[in-house]
């Protein structure tokens, strides 16, 4: 065996087995914490999370923790992504709005469950990054744009469900108005950036909304006029 072949074999032997890690994530991080929705588990098992983290953190793609991405943002830990999406009670025919695309991982998971995902990201660099990830993964039922997600996407409303992946001081009124009756909004809300309660808001009729507390979470600040403003 020559030196080049030996180096190649050593390099291959040290590469992480991401498929195996993905399987362990499903059993150890999700199912053991009572994530039971078959569509959510299947989507989490199909989408390669390692494609949505930076190269520096790729070996940690399936760790039970959030990871840094550009612009000071994070990709949430796998369990939180699964928990939030399961809490939306999605159906295959649903159209979903996501606020806070980040690197695109949650939108990619959603795309495996519903008919179409509309996702809004504040940072232009992350819009480009997420679109690159969607293209590499062959995901064609996601529409992304740069903008203020706290205002929603009126041109495409109403939505069957809305997922907000950043924490704001209140539930943005435009998002409530863009839900169908019976639709659900899942959002972190708290008066301190980085410290929130995860809320599920169900639209009962034109004027009534039911709020459910899903537990304490910690998210990056929600940017926008209905969030922490331009300088959050």
Work out the percent of the chain whose per-residue pLDDT is above 70. Answer: 92
Using DSSP's 3-state secondary structure scheme, residue 180 falls into strand
* pLDDT score, position 8: 42
| Token digits of residue 227 | 């969030």
Indicate if the pLDDT at residue 231 is higher than 80.
no
* pLDDT score, position 10: 46
Residue 158 within any structural domain of the chain: yes
Residues in the chain: 232
| C-alpha dist (Å) from residue 82 to 44, 108, 157, 223 | 8, 12, 24, 23
Residue 223 within any structural domain of the chain: no
| Token digits of residue 61 | 């793609």
Q: Which pLDDT band, with edges at 50, 70 and 90, does 15 fall under?
A: low
Residue 198 within any structural domain of the chain: yes
What is the mean pLDDT of the segment spanning 164-176? Answer: 96
Q: Which pLDDT band, with edges at 50, 70 and 90, does 12 fall under?
A: very low
φ, ψ of residue 81 to 5 degrees: the values are: -60, -50
**pLDDT tens digit sequence for 43-97:** 999 999 999 999 999 999 999 999 999 999 999 999 999 999 999 999 999 999 9
What is the mean pLDDT of the segment spanning 5-23? Answer: 67
CB 185 within 8 A of CB 171: yes
What is the mean pLDDT of the segment spanning 160-167? Answer: 97
* pLDDT score, position 5: 52
* pLDDT score, position 1: 53
Q: Which residues span the domain enclosing 19?
A: 3-217
Indicate if the pLDDT at residue 178 is higher than 60.
yes
Residue 229 within any structural domain of the chain: no
Helices (H), the chain: 3-14, 18-24, 38-46, 78-86, 105-111, 124-136, 173-177
Residue 146 within any structural domain of the chain: yes
Strand partners, 197: 189, 216
Side-chain half-sphere CA neighbours of 174 within 13 A: 17
- Positive or negative: CA dihedral 110, 28, 165, 230: negative
Residue 20 within any structural domain of the chain: yes
The whole-model pTM stands at 0.91
CATH number at residue 10: 3.40.50.150
Region for 71 from its dihedrals, namely left if φ exceeds 0, alpha if ψ lies in -120 to 50, beta otherwise: left
Q: Which pLDDT band, with edges at 50, 70 and 90, does 16 fall under?
A: confident
CB 109 within 8 A of CB 119: no
Side-chain half-sphere CA neighbours of 35 within 13 A: 26
Q: What share of the chain is helix, strand, coil (3-state, %, to 5)?
A: 40, 30, 35
Active site residues: 76
Residue 230 within any structural domain of the chain: no
* pLDDT score, position 61: 96
Number of domains into which the chain is organized: 1
Helices (H), 48-98: 78-86
Residue 121 within any structural domain of the chain: yes
* pLDDT score, position 59: 94
């Amino acid at each position: 065996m020559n030196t080049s072949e030996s180096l190649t074999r050593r390099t291959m032997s040290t590469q992480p087995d991401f498929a195996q890690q993905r399987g362990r994530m499903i059993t150890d991080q999700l199912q053991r914490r009572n994530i039971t929705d078959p569509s959510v588990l299947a989507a989490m098992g199909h989408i390669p999370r390692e494609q949505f983290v930076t190269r520096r953190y790729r070996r940690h793609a399936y760790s039970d923790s959030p990871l840094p991405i550009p612009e000071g943002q994070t990709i949430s830990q796998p369990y939180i992504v699964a928990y939030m999406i399961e809490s939306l009670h999605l159906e295959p025919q649903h159209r979903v709005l996501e606020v806070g695309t980040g690197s695109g991982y949650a939108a990619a998971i959603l795309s495996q469950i519903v008919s179409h995902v509309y996702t809004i990201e504040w940072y232009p660099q992350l819009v480009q990054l997420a679109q690159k990830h969607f293209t590499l993964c062959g995901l064609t039922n996601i529409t992304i744009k740069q903008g203020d997600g706290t205002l929603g996407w009126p041109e495409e409303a109403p939505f069957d469900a809305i997922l907000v992946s950043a924490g704001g001081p209140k539930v943005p009124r435009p998002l409530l108005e863009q839900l169908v009756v019976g639709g659900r909004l899942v959002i972190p809300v708290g008066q301190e950036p980085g410290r929130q309660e995860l809320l599920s808001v169900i639209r009962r009729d034109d004027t009534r909304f039911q709020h459910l507390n899903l537990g304490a979470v910690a998210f990056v600040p929600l940017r926008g006029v209905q969030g922490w403003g331009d300088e959050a």
